[in-house]
């Protein structure tokens, strides 16, 4: 993503002339200055203008004197002036101001807001090329919980003073749990292991699965209705015989397909075909009596089986209780061995410290008796496996008989529903027509559920589409791509670290996504950054990793991460603990700048040289801003490094006129 800062602008509250700080695109821009000049406020100001949730600009002079904070950025769409008002007593405000165009004139005063933070965020999301897809919690692929946002990408752009050489934290705001977990979840997307196209496929799969679930539910409902109808098919046949739609001596076929053909032949008759005879009614009565007899017999079988099941359960419980009692008896009576040992070892034991017994025939008899009891306890009967098997068998018989009984009662209910008509020996023509219409609809529903209907074809098409898309979002493929990307970044780091002041310049460094931390492989072991010492090492590995990531992103066309790096005080690990020393009392309390010795100055110069080489390799597509104490004697003369401003001798970020 092209996002290079051309200017940083401050508008004062006193209505005076705005203050602007210019940067050059495609170069290393240095703001060099003494302590308390405002260097550490630059990152929070830029972050605030880029829609951070809270305002982290230091309270004090800057917040008291500035009304609006703004940046002029160069993008693929041209220039954009983005400004945000100072929040006052609030922690932040959503009031913002934006101007877009190929040429922008900085307004002398910003009177009112013309947009808000959400609108600017959407503009930045669009510029970054992030997919406009809502991820939601119901998408589990690759651990995504939320859509990647432009704000997430700031982790790769800023290295404030508390992070630039921090052994525990590598990325901006990754010390916050929420930001940390979000960054870990979207890292495969950042590395390109998951592309925007892949995310679109994930979204399509989600929609297809939702549609498939709905259609399958419809098919299941139809199937359930058809199965219920199949179970009641005999009732339909008997009712049609009572209505005189089939001969009184005709019986329903025992095989389902033949019975279905019988019902189809009946369904397309009309009420004019109905012939009611006493014999038909009597036939239904005989069927009802037979069903009643079967109902009684099966109910008796179920009752007997339940009694047997209760008896077997009682046998099983009694055997279990008896076995438990024997185990307790064995535990309580295991005395024989102990008593024999007391008698046999009494000459080796101090009687004052441990009890002893004298050997005797009575003692021997007691031990033998106890051993007999213990043997009985150990030989307790076990419940035969046949009891368990019988319990299972009887349960299955009860289930089968219960299902048969339910079917018989359904058939009886259907026949009895027409008992009143049987007694009257008359059927109304309209009721016969309704019966035939219901039968026709039931047969149609059953046939559609069992045939290649339109609904079935739609289900098959969805299943085929899902099957074709799933291999494209394979979790294994994503993990392999992520591993390869991390290896490529590690290879780039290997080209950078030898040019920095790292203790183990040739050590291989890798990025651990689960930990969002750097691992250093040296002397056959692998250590996290916090496990090795020296601020110089921490700084070197931070610089190498962040620069390697940017160079890797530049290889990907139109990558989402802004090609922008801002480092605040990278040389702090080489300066004395106190950033300044005071002159003697006679000379006043004037602060003087610390001076680096030759070795430290060379180490800091390596940092600027490496950053300059990175910018050169990026061919103008990467902008780096460095805020540091180090003066031109450290970074001067390095190709690609430019001085933006120097804040010394009273020069600061906020000019004195802002306080007038």
Q: Which two tokens stand for residue 528?
A: 């996290």
Rounded to whole angstroms, the Cα distance separating 122 from 130 reads 10
Q: Kindly report, residue by residue over 459-500, the tens digit of the pLDDT.
A: 889 999 998 888 877 788 889 999 999 999 999 999 999 999
Tell me the pairing of strands 66-75 and 28-33.
Answer: unpaired
Q: What is the 3-state secondary structure (H, E, C) of 598-644?
A: HHHHHHHHHHHHHHHHHHHHCCCCCEEEEEECCCHHHHCCCCCEEEE
- Which pLDDT score, from 0 to 100, does residue 140 have? 42
Residue 131: in which H helix or E strand, if any?
none
Cα separation, 494 vs 544, whole angstroms: 8
Q: For 615-628, how does the pLDDT look when each residue is reduced to its tens digit (9 = 90+)?
A: 999 999 999 999 99
Q: For residue 11, what is the enclosing H or E element?
A: strand 4-12
Residues 6+ apart with CB under 8 A from 324: none
pLDDT at 640: 95
Please say whether the beta carbons of 119 and 20 come within 8 A. Answer: no
CB 51 within 8 A of CB 651: no
Q: What pLDDT was estimated at residue 382?
A: 53
Q: Distance (Å, rounded) from C-alpha 6 to C-alpha 25?
A: 7
pLDDT of res. 586: 46
The answer to whether 488 and 193 have CB atoms below 8 angstroms apart is no
Predicted TM-score (pTM) of the model is: 0.63
Going from the C-alpha of 264 to that of each of 138, 227, 236, 268, 411, the distances in angstroms are 47, 17, 11, 7, 20
Q: What is the mean pLDDT of the chain?
A: 82
Q: What are phi and psi of 492, to 5 degrees?
A: -65, -40
- For position 133, what pLDDT does the model report? 61
Predicted local confidence at residue 142, as pLDDT: 45
Positive or negative torsion for Cα 155, 156, 157, 160: positive
**DSSP category for residue 502:** -
- pLDDT less than 70: residues of the chain: 132-146, 225-227, 229-230, 256, 270-286, 288, 326-327, 329-362, 374-386, 415-430, 445-446, 448-453, 576-594
Please identify which residue in the block is written with the tokens 């000019």: 655
pLDDT of residue 281: 52
pLDDT tens, 153-178?
A: 999 999 999 999 999 999 999 988 88
């Amino acid at each position: 993503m092209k996002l290079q800062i051309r200017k940083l602008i401050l508008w004062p509250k006193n209505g005076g002339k705005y203050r602007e700080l210019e940067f050059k695109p495609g170069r290393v821009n240095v703001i060099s200055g003494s302590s308390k000049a405002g260097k550490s406020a630059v990152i929070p100001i830029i972050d605030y203008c880029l829609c951070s949730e809270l305002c982290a600009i230091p309270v004090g002079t800057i917040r008291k004197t500035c009304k609006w904070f703004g940046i002029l950025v160069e993008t693929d769409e041209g220039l954009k002036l983005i400004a945000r008002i100072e929040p006052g007593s609030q922690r932040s405000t959503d009031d913002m101001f934006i101007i877009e165009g190929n040429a922008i004139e900085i307004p002398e005063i910003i009177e009112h807001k013309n947009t808000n933070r959400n609108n600017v965020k959407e503009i930045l999301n669009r510029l970054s090329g992030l997919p406009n897809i809502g991820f939601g919690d119901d998408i589990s692929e690759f651990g995504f919980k939320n859509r990647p946002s432009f704000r997430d990408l700031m982790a790769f752009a800023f290295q404030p003073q508390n992070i630039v050489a921090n052994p525990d934290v590598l990325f901006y705001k990754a010390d916050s749990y929420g930001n940390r977990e979000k960054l870990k979840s979207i890292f495969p997307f950042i590395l390109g292991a998951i592309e925007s196209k892949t995310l679109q496929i994930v979204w399509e799969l989600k929609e297809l699965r939702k549609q498939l679930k709905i259609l399958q539910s419809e098919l299941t409902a139809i199937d359930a209705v058809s199965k219920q109808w199949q179970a009641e098919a005999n009732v339909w046949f008997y009712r049609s015989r009572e209505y005189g739609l089939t001969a009184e001596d005709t019986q329903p076929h025992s095989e389902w397909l033949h019975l279905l053909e019988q019902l189809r032949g009946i369904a397309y008759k009309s009420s004019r075909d109905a012939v009611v005879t006493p014999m038909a009614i009597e036939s239904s009565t005989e069927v009802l009596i037979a069903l009643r007899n079967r109902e009684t017999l099966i109910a008796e079988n179920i009752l007997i089986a339940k009694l047997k099941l209760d008896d077997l359960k009682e046998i099983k419980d009694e055997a279990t209780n008896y076995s438990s009692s024997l185990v307790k008896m064995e535990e309580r009576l295991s005395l024989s061995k102990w008593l024999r040992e007391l008698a046999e070892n009494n000459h080796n034991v101090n009687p004052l410290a441990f009890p002893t017994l004298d050997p005797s025939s009575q003692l021997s008899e007691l031990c033998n008796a106890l051993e007999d009891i213990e043997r009985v306890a150990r030989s307790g009967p076990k419940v035969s496996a046949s009891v368990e098997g019988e319990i299972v068998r009887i349960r299955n018989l009860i289930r089968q008989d219960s299902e048969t009984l339910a079917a018989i009662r359904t058939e009886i209910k259907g026949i009895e529903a027409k008992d009143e008509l049987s007694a009257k020996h008359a059927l109304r023509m309209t009721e016969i027509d309704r019966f035939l219409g219901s039968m026709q609809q039931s047969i149609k529903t059953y046939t559609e559920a069992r045939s290649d209907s339109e609904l079935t074809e739609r289900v098959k098409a969805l299943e085929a589409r899902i099957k074709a898309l799933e291999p494209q979002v394979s979790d294994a493929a994503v993990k392999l791509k992520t591993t390869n990307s991390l290896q490529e970044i590690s290879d780039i780091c290997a080209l950078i670290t030898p040019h920095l002041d790292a203790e183990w310049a040739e050590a291989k460094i890798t990025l651990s996504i689960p930990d969002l931390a750097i691992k250093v492989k040296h002397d056959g072991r692998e250590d996290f950054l916090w496990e090795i010492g020296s601020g110089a090492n921490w700084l070197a590995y931070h610089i190498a990793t962040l620069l390697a990531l940017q160079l890797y992103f530049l290889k990907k066309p139109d990558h989402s991460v802004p090609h922008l790096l801002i480092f605040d005080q990278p040389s702090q690990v080489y300066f004395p603990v106190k950033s300044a020393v005071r002159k003697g009392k006679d000379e006043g309390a004037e602060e003087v700048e610390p001076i680096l010795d030759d070795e430290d100055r060379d180490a800091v110069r390596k940092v600027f040289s490496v950053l300059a080489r990175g910018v050169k390799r990026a061919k103008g597509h990467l902008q780096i801003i460095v805020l540091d104490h180090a003066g031109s004697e450290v970074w001067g003369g390095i190709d690609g490094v430019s001085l933006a401003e120097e804040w010394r001798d009273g020069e600061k970020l906020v000019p004195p006129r802002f306080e007038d």
